[in-house]
Amino acid sequence: MRTYSVSTPIAFAVACCISFAAGYAFHLVFGFEHKAAHQAIVEAQSFQRVAAAYEPILSNHSQFLELSKINTIEELKALREKRRESTVRSAEFFIGKASELELPEEKHFAQPFVSKATTIKASLLATQ
């Protein structure tokens, strides 16, 4: 019966493991996908920050244009009612979306906002 040396397969196994680890490390550091994904995340976050900073300008400008068109008390009352109804709808939408959250961290983070939205909705509905 012939006996085989165990050192040769072990040497091959160690060489394969080292080669795989070195290739994986090289790909992580210099791989295209890693850099492309990182760049996409950075660009998305940058766009979100810019859009969030620009949003108040659009909101205030549209409100200014709407207020500029008011000439009578009736138009002012109509605008007030329109804003009240839109705020109530927005609060209802937020409360509905918050109830659909699945992650416990998101639910915990949203809870104070839900209670504030509920309070705002109730106060607006009381002042009809």
pLDDT at 118: 94
- Is the pLDDT higher at 105 or at 5? 105
- State pLDDT tens for residues 49-80: 888 888 888 888 888 899 999 999 999 999 99
pLDDT at 119: 94
Q: Is residue 18 part of a domain?
A: no
Q: Is residue 58 part of a domain?
A: no
Please indicate, yes or no, whether the overall pTM of this predicted structure exceeds 0.85. no
Residue 36 reports pLDDT greater than 80: no
Tokens of 76: 């002012």
Domain residue limits at 123? 73-128
Q: Is residue 21 part of a domain?
A: no
Q: Is residue 49 part of a domain?
A: no
- Nearest CA to 91 out of 118, 123, 55 is that of 118
Q: How many CB atoms lie within 10 A of CB 117?
A: 20
